[in-house]
Amino acid sequence: MIPTPISTATADHYLWGGTCDGWHLVRAAGMSVIEERMPPGTAETRHWHTRAIQFFYVLGGTLTMEVEGATHHLSSGVGLQVPSGTAHQARNEGSGDTSFLVISSPPHQGDRRETAQGEV
């Protein structure tokens, strides 16, 4: 197979959380790369992954990442690795859109577990 360039204009797109966007840039057996866009005031459900190690890398805006009770504010050009088995939540607490890459190894589909109410 000959590789071809991919972008948000050509990648498979999906909506999540009602208003957030995701684009599958890479879908491979050992890794996935997704670009996501979160409008202001949005958040994903706090969760963890049984196998996947994830790396969140901010392309624009500021991404608030809560990981096991610690809060990190990631700006453009900054990333954070989240080990498997680690509860986390991405939020956009800013006034503009935030965009970021989520790189997962192995791919996280089917690997997600929701955290219980109040669980850290």
Q: Please list the alpha-helical segments (H only) found in 52-117.
A: none
Q: How confident is the model at residue 117 (pLDDT cuts 50, 70, 90)?
A: very low
pLDDT tens-digit readout, 15-67: 999 999 999 999 999 999 999 999 999 999 999 999 999 999 999 999 999 99
What mean pLDDT is reported for the chain? Answer: 94
Residue 13 pLDDT grade (very low, low, confident, very high; cuts 50, 70, 90): very high
Which residue carries 């599958």 as its tokens? 24
Residue 109 has pLDDT above 90, yes or no: no
Average confidence (pLDDT) over 68-93? 97
Token representation of residue 92 = 């956009």
What CATH fold (topology level) applies to the domain 33-108?
Answer: Jelly Rolls (2.60.120)
Neighbours of 45 (CB within 10 A): 11
In the chain, where the domains are located: 33-108
Confidence (pLDDT) at 118:
47
Neighbours of 75 (CB within 10 A): 12
- Three-class SS of residue 25? strand
Question: What is the mean pLDDT of the segment spanning 92-116?
Answer: 91
- The 8-class DSSP code of residue 50 comes to S
Place of tokens 């009770």: 69
